[in-house]
Amino acid sequence: MEYPDDLRYSREHEWVRLDGDAGVIGISDFAQDQLGDIVYVALPAVGSEVKFMEKCGEIESVKAVSDLYSPVSGEVLARNDSLIEQPELVNSAPYGDGWLLQVRLIDPSELERLLGTQEYKDLTARAEE
């Protein structure tokens, strides 16, 4: 299981990577593994607003649906539309080609409320038990 060091994680298993005043959002390796084969991703439109830890989309695997929470507040600058044709990218490259959204941050201090890599690792270790 991968836990890249340059990310902040939410307790709902989303990650955010800071890139200037924007953040790229995805779900963690642990999350994609738990969900299994991902078959569909519903994401908000470009230009819409997302709020810190509020529902902003859905991720479906064959036999489960999981709400997606935005780990930051802001405006959606881009979304990964290649997931329409290839939702399996979330499984194969959760931190790379399987990214979900790019959001312009309005409150970078929210990042402080997210977990660091070790904290998140501990959280998933407890969830595994």
Determine the Cα–Cα distance for residues 109 and 62; give it in Å rounded to an integer.
36
Q: Please say which residue, 63 or 126, places its beta carbon nearer to another protein.
A: 63
Contacts with another protein, residue ranges (CB under 8 A): 37, 39-40, 60-65, 85-88
* Nearest distance in Å: CB 22, another protein: 29
How many of the other CB atoms lie within 10 Å of CB of 34?
16
Q: Provide, rounded to whole angstroms, the least separation between the CB of residue 38 and another protein.
A: 8
Phi, psi (rounded to 5 degrees) for 109? -65, -15
Strand partners, 114: none
Least Å distance between CB 98 and another protein? 13
Q: Which is nearer to another protein, 70 or 91 (CB)?
A: 91
With a CB cutoff of 8 Å and minimum separation 6, the contacts of 22 are: 74, 77, 102, 103, 104, 105
State which residue, 18 or 93, has the beta carbon closest to another protein.
93
Q: How far is the CB of 113 from another protein (least distance, A)?
A: 28
- Round the CA-based radius of gyration of the chain to a whole number and report it: 13
CB of 53 or CB of 59, closer to another protein: 59
